[in-house]
A and B are shown apart, each in its own frame.
Chain A
Amino acid sequence: MLRPLLSLLLGSTLLLGVATPLAMTAVAERVMPGRAEGSLVRQDGRVIGSALIGQDFPGDEWFHSRPSATSARPYDASSSAASQQGPTSAALLAAVRERTAGGHHVPADAATASGSGLDPHISPENARLQVVRVAAARRLPAPQIAALVDRFVEGRELGLLGEPRVNVLRLNLALRDLR
Chain B
Amino acid sequence: MTLNGWAQIALVLGIAVLAAVPVGRWLAAIAQGRLGFLARFDRGVLRAAGIDGAGQGWQRYLLAMLAFNAAGLVLLYLILRLQGVLPLNPQGFDGVPPFLAFNTAVSFVTNTNWQAYSGEVAMSHFSQMAGLAVQNFLSAATGIALAFAVMRAFAQGSLRELGNFWADATRVTLYVLLPGAVLAGFAFIAMGVPQTLDAGVTAATLGGGEQTIPLGPVGLQLAIKHLGTNGGGFFGVNSLHPFEGPSALATALQIILQILIPFGLCLTFGRVVGDRRQGQALLAVMVGFVLVATLGIYAAEAGGNPLHLAAGVAPELGNMEGKDVRFGQALAALFTATTTGASCGAVNAMLDSFTPLGGMIPLFLIQLGEVVPGGVGSGLYGMLVFALLSVFVAGLMVGRTPEYLGKKVQAREIKLAMLAVLVLPAVILGFAAVALNIGTGISSLAAAGPHGLTEMLYAYTSAAGNNGSAFGGLTADTPWLNVTLGIAMMLGRFAYVIPVLAIAGSIAAKPRTPEGPGTLPTHGPLFAGLLAGVILILGGLQYLPALALGPIAEHFSMLAGTTF
Contacts and interface: CB of A to CB of B under 8 A. Distances in A.
A8 B317 contact: no
Contacts of A113: 321-322
Interface stretch (B151-159, B192-200, B391-399): B192-200
A157 B252 CA distance: 11
Q: How large is the interface on B (under 10, 10 to 19, 20 to 34, 35 or more residues)?
A: 35 or more
14 contacts: A12-B134, A12-B137, A32-B189, A36-B189, A52-B192, A53-B211, A77-B214, A84-B350, A86-B473, A86-B554, A87-B319, A87-B355, A88-B558, A107-B314
Nearest to B214: A78
Interface in A30-86: 32, 35-40, 46-59, 62, 66, 73, 75-86
A121 B323 CA distance: 11
Interface in B315-331: 315-328, 331
B95 interface: no
Given A21-B217, A49-B206, 14 more contacts: A13-B130, A32-B189, A47-B201, A52-B243, A79-B120, A86-B352, A86-B455, A86-B471, A96-B308, A105-B314, A115-B348, A116-B240, A123-B325, A176-B206
A4 B324 contact: no
B465 to A, nearest CB: 20
A141 interface: no
Counting from the closest, the 3 A-B pairs by CB-CB distance are A162-B248, A17-B130, A3-B50
Interface residues of A, number: 101
B51 A7 contact: yes
Nearest to B64: A1
A37 B71 contact: no
B346 to A, nearest CB: 12
B134 A57 contact: no
Given A84-B350, A87-B305, A156-B4, A62 B241 contact: no
B121 interface: yes
Interface centre among B121, B307, B347 (most CB of A within 10 A): B307
B207 interface: yes
Contacts of A25: 195-197, 217
Nearest to A124: B325
Contacts of B247: 157, 162
Contacts of A12: 134, 137-138, 173
Interface string B113-125: 0000010110000
Interface of B: 4, 7-8, 11, 48-51, 63-64, 67-68, 71-72, 75, 118, 120-121, 129-131, 133-134, 137-138, 166, 169-170, 173, 178, 182, 185-186, 189-198, 200-209, 211-215, 217, 219-221, 235-237, 240-243, 246-249, 251-252, 304-305, 307-308, 311-328, 331, 347-350, 352-356, 359, 446-447, 449-451, 454-455, 471-473, 554, 557-558, 562-564
Nearest to A58: B207
Contact of B8 (A29, A56, A160): A160
Contacts of A115: 237, 240, 322-324, 347-350, 353
A21 B193 CA distance: 14
Interface centre among A3, A6, A17, A62 (most CB of B within 10 A): A17
Contacts of B170: 8
B49 A89 contact: no
A36 B246 CA distance: 12
B249 A158 contact: yes
B46 to A, nearest CB: 9
Contacts of A81: 118, 236-237
A2 to B, nearest CB: 9
Given A121-B324, A161-B248, A37 B196 contact: yes
B563 A89 contact: yes
Nearest to B213: A77
B312 A29 contact: no
